Structure 1
Amino acid sequence: MATAVETLGKLERRITISFPLTEVRAEVEKRLKVQAKTAKAPGFRPGKVPLKMVAAQYGYQIETEVLNDKVGRAFNDAANAAELRVAGYPRIEPKEESPAGVLTFDATFEIYPEVVVGDLSTVEIETVKADVSETEIDKTIEILRKQRVHFHTKGEAGEHGDGGEAVAANGDRVTVDFVGSIDGVEFPGGKAEDYAFVLGEGRMLPEFEAATVGLKVGEAKTFPLAFPEDYHGKDVAGKTASFTITLKKLEWAHLPEVDAEFAKSLGVADGDVAKMREDIKVNLEREVAGRVKARNKEAVMDALVKTATLDVPQALIAQDTERLAEMTRQDMAQRGMNVKDIPFPPELFAEKAERRVRLGLILSQLVGENKLQAQPEQVKAQVEDFAQSYEDPREVLKYYYSDRRRLAEVEALVLEENVVNYVLGLSKTSSKVVAFDELMGSNAQA
């Protein structure tokens, strides 16, 4: 039996559930008899264990299962009868004061809120767009050249030249021995042999690189180095050390020419440089389109959060907070970090979780009201678009359509895009051109 629904707050409700103790005992006894048919105990054949021994071994577990089943079923029946959409899970607590022979529980829970989306025709949204020019293609080619750099001994003649005077300069790769001391005492981590790095990449502290520039092979230099206060090595942070560095090897960087061989290294079979540039442009345009779509989606989501009115169930925020914490833990573990004993305070994720839940409720409302569900042809088109950047598109199609969960992820993306297009079609939009570098440096995510 369940009482009428009590209203405790805007979204919080309570239902009191009760049933005779005799019902619980009868069901427990029934399940114990079933368990006894297969129960095992020393000195007894299977199925011949006395019921008292079965009760002693399994009684608590079975009683808990019976209570959970009866309370859960009674709660669901009461919530359905009252036509309530329960958000999250109810908090079940036994009532201390119950009539004799009766078990009574309070089920406290939240319901889904009413979502009111404002007048979208009055909403102003600024979208962005960006172009891929020859300059961006040239920059990308330079990056690709640097990724394929070759180093040659500086000062020695070779098929690519000698690299100029054999003196260390920015862009050169140097191999050094060094030793550092503070107040005349060497410190851990302050000594190395045959240590290689490229000057100008910022891997070493500025004083270290500055001291290396201008050296010739075999030369040494002693110089002071002041460690920053926030240096990762706490033992030396904020202190000044004396370093002696010896240059053992000096190499200059040779970047490959932009020619047929370079084009072939990028997958252009016939080495056509013009085709290589066109391929790079297509890839950049695909990347730009994705970034633009993400930025514009973020603008729409921001507008919806500001426009819609709703109360967000705390139970759903708590669930999403746990989900985000677990995702973070798994991501860190995959990166090789030991996160077993690292605490993840809920407040780290609460704000993001609240926004995600709020947006989820708003999107659900818009989708239901305006029939914006992802259609099969839209999902297929999205998967085919993903497949374009892979060598074997058919394998990509198989990857998604062989797993319902993967396909559901694509459906969610399409659904969001439907909402974005719907909102942009109703709102007052303006557009601005953003620089390529600015766009590519952004990480817009809804």
Structure 2
Amino acid sequence: MQVTETLNDGLKRGYAITVTAAELDAKVVEKLSEAQPEIEMKGFRKGKVPLPLLRKQFGQRLLGEAMQESIDGAMSEHFEKSGDRPAMQPEVKMTNEDWKEGDDVQVEMSYEALPEVPELDFSGVKVERLVVKADDASVDEALANLAETAQDFKDRKKGSKAKDGDQVVFDFVGKVDGEAFEGGSAEDYPLVLGSGSFIPGFEEQLVGVKAGEEKQVEVSFPDDYGAPNLKGKAATFDCTIKAVKEPVAAEIDDELAKKFGAEDLAALKAQIAERLEAEYQGAARQVMKRNLLDTLDGMVSFDLPPSLVEAEAKQIAHQLYHEEHPEDQGHDHGEIEPTDEHKSLAERRVRLGLLLAELGQQAKVEVTDAEMTQAIMNQARQYPGQERQFFDFVRQNQQMQQQMRAPIFEDKVIDHIVDQAEVTDKEVSKDELQKAVEALEEDDA
């Protein structure tokens, strides 16, 4: 087998690989010899079928396997000896397309090699970490929001008309073609107007009703309604309004705290403060991470594989197109040509991605099974009732696993760098942190 270099330009590599007919023949014989002890054939005992007969029977089929294994072996040996790591799957093609049995196999292999990433000393890197404490005002604001979500309702003044957001307590009897239907009646039913709990058009007709009033509501069931006997049917509901109530925020006291699983109001405030500071810490980390990546980007310079940059630029252009055109849900919009700005951002991402991958490899950073399981479970919560299906889908999808593993790996490498850098904590206000986060979003826009 012969491997000859045909191209060495920057990161681009090209090689001509020749697998001789004799090598292929030897590979076929090797395969037949390995299989011989287990083969039975009429007229011969198991394992005693002569090789020439086996060759006649199976040789043609094994020739293709031998060819592929020989080429794969040559490529593996080349990468092991050269130390090259291809940026993407190497392009491999036969150059003697008129090949026939007995000929040498000639193959052309081309790829872009990953660059050598220079070693960095992080001891002189300075990192500023923003720290925000949860002040009383922030805790009180969060408490007020919780009280609104736990709202109660109290009777409006006698004669008041129901408004959107009010709770109407009423009896009703639903009829289709003048006959009451099963499940269409209730007493003392509490309905919040505007909640969308009832079929379309129902709640709007109760806006303006008063306690003690009789009201007939006319609606049509949707064509996709769950009960087959009611699909698309016109219906009337005879309603007797018993009470009209306005929403009121719950009292901020120990009882509210217990509704949210806390022992008392003081414990609830402590929980809120802890949650707020965790949110602030997460936002501050994003700011610190961006600033650190900016620093790293300025510390290194090396050649980038053009194919990786081009693929990343196209992905950026495609993503931004859909963000700017949310109405275009398909992918039949044709080719989106990346701009110079897209290419510049792609170069930064590829450079930092290669740098972090190299640093992680040097530091032996690994994503554990426990970390992956936790990440999958966190994302599965976005699909209530389908958590198990999502979990199984990810477990069977290597590409999805890689997409979820990548940010975990990156964060662990960032932590590794921060551990070696000079870190200074800077206490700031919530508003100052918010401005820093908004600045990141503007840079991403």
TM-score (normalizing by structure 2): 0.57
Equivalent positions of 1:268-287 (< 5 A) are: 268=262, 271-287=263-279
Aligned residue type for 2:431? A
Alignment of 1:22-421 (within 5 A): 22-35=22-35, 37-38=37-38, 62-96=62-96, 101-115=103-117, 128-150=130-152, 161-164=154-157, 166-173=160-167, 214-216=208-210, 218=214, 251-268=245-262, 271-305=263-297, 308-314=300-306, 356-364=349-357, 412-420=410-418
Tell me the CA shift for residue 57 of structure 1: 8.2
Distance 1:354 1:32 in 2: 50
Mapped partners of 1:41, 1:345: distance in 2: 58
Cα separation, partners in 2 of 1:74 and 1:425, compared to 1, 3 Å: same
Post-superposition offset of 1:141: 2.0
The size of the alignment, in residue pairs, is 355
Inter-partner Cα distance in structure 1 for 2:121 and 2:33: 63
Letter matched to residue 286 of structure 1: A
Secondary structure in 2 matching 1:87: coil
Asked if the contact 1:131/1:436 (under 8 Å) is kept, the reply is no
Q: What corresponds to 1:228 in structure 2?
A: none
Unmatched segments (≥5 aa) in structure 2:
173-184, 219-235, 317-328, 376-401
1:435 is paired with a residue of what secondary structure?
helix
Q: Distance in 1 between matches of 2:81 and 2:31?
A: 29
Matched, 1:14 2:8: no
Letter in 1 for 2:105: L
Shift of 1:131: 3.6
Separation of aligned partners in 2, 1:143 and 1:106: 66
- Cα pair distance change 1:118/1:309, threshold 3 Å: farther
When residues 261 and 110 of structure 1 are mapped into structure 2, their CA distance, relative to the original with a 3 A threshold, is: same
Give the Cα separation in 2 of the matches to 1:323 and 1:35: 48
Q: Is the 8 A contact 1:37 1:46 kept in 2?
A: yes
59-68 vs 16-25, greater mean Cα deviation: 59-68
Aligned to 1:435: 431
Q: Give the Å deviation of 1:277.
A: 0.6
Residue 140 (structure 1) shift? 2.0
Which residue identity is paired with 1:360? G
Query: What's the CA shift for 1:281?
Result: 0.5
Task: Give CA-to-partner distance per residue, 1:302-345, whole Å, 9 cap, x none.
Answer: 44346543333355569989999xxxxxxxxxxxxxx9x98899
Read off the aligned partner of 2:162 and give its amino acid letter: A
- SS of alignment partner, residue 311 of structure 1: coil
TM-score by length of 1: 0.56
Partner SS, residue 171 of structure 1: coil
Q: Output the amino acid matched with 1:285.
A: E
Contact 1:171 1:252 in 2 (8 A): yes
Distance 1:123 1:316, change over 3 A: same
Q: Write the distance in 2 (CA, Å) between the matches of 1:61 and 1:87.
A: 33
RMSD (CA atoms): 6.1
